[in-house]
Amino acid sequence: MVDLVWFQLLSAVLFVIGLYGVMSRRSAVLIVMSIELMLNAVNINLIAAASHMEGTGKFSNFDGQLIAIFIITVAAAEVGLALAVILRMYRNKSTVNVDEINLMKW
Amino acid sequence: MEWAWLIPIFSFAAAPLIVLFGKYLPSKGAFLSILAIVAGFGGFWVVLISWMGADPSTSGCFTSENTHLLTCDYERSWFNAGRIGDVGSVTLNWGILIDPLTIAVLGLVTFVAMMVQIYSLAYMKGDPRFGWYFAIHSMFAAAMLTLVLADNFLLLYVAWELVGICSYLLIGFWHERAAAREAAKKAFIVTRIGDVGLLIGILLIYREVGTFSMLDAFEAVRTGAMSEGVTTAAAILLFLGAMGKSAQIPFHVWLPDAMEGPTPVSALIHAATMVIAGVFLVARTFPIFEAYDADPLLIVSIVGLVTALVAATIALVATDLKRILAYSTISHLGLMMLSLGAFGYTAAIFHMMAHGFSKALLFLGAGSVLHSTEFQETGEMGGLRKVMPITAIVFSIGALSLGGIPILAGFWSKDEILVAVSDNRNVTFIVLTLFTAMLSALYMARAMFLVFFGPLKSQNEHAHESPGAMVVPMILLGVLALGFGLISFNWPGSYGGIGTFVYFKHAHDFHFEIWLGAVSIVLAVGAFIAAYLIYVKRSVSLENTRSNFFGILKVIENKYYFDEVYQWTIDRVVLVFSRSIAFFDRAIVNDIIVNGPADVTRKLGIAIRVHVTGHVYTYTLAMAIGSIGMAIFVWLRVA
């Protein structure tokens, strides 16, 4: 069995790529994609941890899987919401560039 | 007698009726006010007659242990705080107390108020606030009647303050004039200072006795339940209130200015309401003053004497007719206080009434002169008896009465005071009292001669006698000023003189000290003759005396600089103190405690709002750094 640390490494790399994407992209669509990446990085981490948990048998502890299912559900809802917001944004401002969406700043 | 509380209620009811419905009624509702006070006057007779017929077995009546007078008390519960009987529960009562003092003052107040209101019908004719005037007038009389009837300190205090506010409204009646506004404020504030003393005194008595009832307080004093120190303190505090209302030095400054109101108002204030409230208060609470060694009475008599003397000298040099009368009032109030202080209870009440009738008469006469000539300075008058003979006659009766010329009311009452002072105080008092009496004759004679005698000035030739509504009240008051002294004698039959009607502990028959009477007659008549020579014949010139006593004269003409000293104190002490308080309020309370936190928050907001860039990646970065920070923190904690 592959060591847990490799999974965690993969998860961390994916997460940081996602974080970089959120911070550096100007397009709202790309930011949403980066957020998805970060969520999935967390999913990998959780499932790997769950499958390595010690117990009476394999997959005896379902906590990680459960939370991953939740995250997938929330991510689906979030994408639906985010895309709707982006659509409205585009209709109003004819752009999805977040730098131009700055009505809430001081 | 149980229904005596209706006497003020009539007038209380008239006031709002006039204000609300006056404009739909004939004469703007003034007749309501007059009807109410006539009903009050009728009530006075009913009370007097039923009191005469009462004896200690009548319901509510008993012979007071404190005054040895037949006293009737009708008390009802006003409200309860807490359950009755519980510890700490308070029951407040209100009720009426009827004894000879009440009856005497009741008669004075209702009669003078009635006369003044009838007179005002003509005097105030055409005034734009005619109805309002009568409404307040009614209220004023009602408040004073309540004060007189009150059987407990709380009701008395309520009425006392009502008298104060009504006087404020009436003195400032012509509030378009700055002087009237100032005078109204002055009257209200100066009497207020004394009222604080009164309030503290009342609360002190309440704390000691546990009730506001006056009779209980007197009982506590008599039985010794109230200790000597507390009793003395309470008496002095009550006297402070009396000094404010009765314009005793150093609180006398408001009264001369109070003449800014309409003249009938001055007549009412000076004769029947307001100023006699103080004398009445001391008389009413006399058992408290007289208890133990009667030390407070010495203070009362000294304050009274100083007031009488100082005010009399100012009245002598004043040139404004109403101002002369105002200082004369202060002087006579001083004499009443002096008399009370010298155990002359009967004399003080008698003088209060004799002075009330005479002074109301004088003010109504002065009002008549003012109405006709439009002048207030005595220098602009002279010889007016030729154009307004009736006013001249009644004014002279008032002046002779207050001057203490025999057979007029003022002579007998003044004589009673002199007897009381010579019996109970030392020789300095009696000499100064006689001197004051002489000054009193002199300034009354001066006012009378300057206004009505001598040559008529051409500017006053158009002057005319006042209308009937003004003349009739003056004549009625004149009859009283002339003949009121008769009630002081022993008459054949059951009436034994005023000394057997109003007295404190000891009834006494009328008595007349020959030497005192002779001296006072000589002084009074001499003063009138001297004034006649100086102001009418002009055979004696004052120019030399004037220059010899220039310094003293200047001090007196400036009213002993009382107003200046007060103004200085207010400017230099009160206002400076207030300004430093105001500075503290602005700088510390407002700027630091209140605005300080607000300012810090605002500055902080300005400082950190630059971080709200509106760029998504700044927020994300902050979030990431925050998360990492928290993770490190948790990791360190765990490790």
The average pLDDT across B221-240 equals: 90
Distance, CA of B553 to CA of B313 (rounded, Å): 9
| A86-90, B380-384, B407-411, range with the lowest pLDDT | B380-384
Please provide the DSSP assignment of B380-432 as one string: G---GGGT-HHHHHHHHHHHHHHHT-TTSHHHHHHHHHHHHHHHHS-HHHHHH
**In the predicted structure, residue A59 carries a pLDDT above the cut 60:** no
**In the predicted structure, residue A58 carries a pLDDT above the cut 60:** no
> Among residues of chain A, what percentage have pLDDT more than 70?
90
User: Nearest Cβ partner of A23 from B610, B614, B620?
Assistant: B620
- State the CB neighbour count (10 A cutoff) for residue A70: 12
pLDDT in tens, B487-499: 877 777 667 777 7
Confidence of residue B117 (pLDDT cuts 50, 70, 90): very high
**In the predicted structure, residue B571 carries a pLDDT above the cut 60:** yes
User: Nearest Cβ partner of A23 from B609, B613, B621?
Assistant: B621
Structure tokens at B400: 């002779």
Q: Look at residue A53 in the predicted model and tell me its pLDDT.
A: 73
How much of chain B is helix, strand and coil, in % rounded to 5?
A: 75, 5, 20
| β-strand pairing of B61-63 with B70-81 | antiparallel
Distance, CA of B617 to CA of A98 (rounded, Å): 9
The average pLDDT across B92-115 equals: 91
User: Nearest Cβ partner of A105 from B613, B620, B621?
Assistant: B613
User: Nearest Cβ partner of B615 from A99, A103, A106?
Assistant: A99
> H-helix or E-strand containing B93?
strand B90-98
Q: Look at residue B608 in the predicted model and tell me its pLDDT.
A: 86
Which is nearest to B622 in space by CA: B631, B612, B632?
Answer: B612
Higher per-residue confidence, B373 vs A44 = A44
**In the predicted structure, residue B42 carries a pLDDT above the cut 90:** yes
Task: Match 């209200």 to its residue by tokens.
Answer: B188
> Among residues of chain B, what percentage have pLDDT more than 90?
44
Distance, CA of A28 to CA of B449 (rounded, Å): 107
| Chain B closest-CA separation from residue A58 CA (Å) | 28
**In the predicted structure, residue B39 carries a pLDDT above the cut 90:** yes
Q: Look at residue B494 in the predicted model and tell me its pLDDT.
A: 67
Provide the angle, in degrees to the nearest 10, between the axes of the packed helices B275-284 and B228-245.
Answer: 160
Whether the link from the prior residue into B8 is cis, omega within 30° of 0, is no
Q: Look at residue A78 in the predicted model and tell me its pLDDT.
A: 92
Q: Look at residue A56 in the predicted model and tell me its pLDDT.
A: 59
Q: Do residues B627 and A38 lie in contact, with contact meaning Cβ atoms separated by under 8 Å?
A: no
Q: Do residues B147 and B242 lie in contact, with contact meaning Cβ atoms separated by under 8 Å?
A: no
Contact list in A for residue B614 (CB cut-off 8 A) is: 101-105
pTM of the complete model:
0.80
- State the CB neighbour count (10 A cutoff) for residue B592: 12
The average pLDDT across B168-182 equals: 91
ipTM: 0.76
The residue of B615, B623, B628 whose CB has the most chain A CBs within 10 angstroms, and thus the best one to mutate to test that interface, is B615
pLDDT in tens, B177-201: 999 999 999 999 999 999 999 999 9
Distance, CA of A95 to CA of A43 (rounded, Å): 32
| B2-6, B16-20, B547-551, range with the lowest pLDDT | B547-551
Q: Do residues A51 and A7 lie in contact, with contact meaning Cβ atoms separated by under 8 Å?
A: no
| Chain B closest-CA separation from residue A72 CA (Å) | 22
The average pLDDT across B101-122 equals: 92
**In the predicted structure, residue A57 carries a pLDDT above the cut 70:** no
Contact list in A for residue B615 (CB cut-off 8 A) is: 98-99, 102
- Mark out the alpha helices in B252-388 (DSSP H runs): 254-257, 263-271, 275-284, 286-290, 295-317, 321-341, 345-373
Q: Do A23 and B613 touch (CB under 8 A)?
A: no
Which is nearest to B155 in space by CA: B103, B200, B97?
Answer: B97
| Chain A closest-CA separation from residue B188 CA (Å) | 57
Q: Do A102 and B610 touch (CB under 8 A)?
A: no
Phi and psi torsions of B577, nearest 5°:
-60, -45
Distance, CA of A19 to CA of A25 (rounded, Å): 10
The average pLDDT across B304-324 equals: 91
Contact list in B for residue A101 (CB cut-off 8 A) is: 614
Q: Look at residue B202 in the predicted model and tell me its pLDDT.
A: 93
Distance, CA of B68 to CA of B479 (rounded, Å): 33
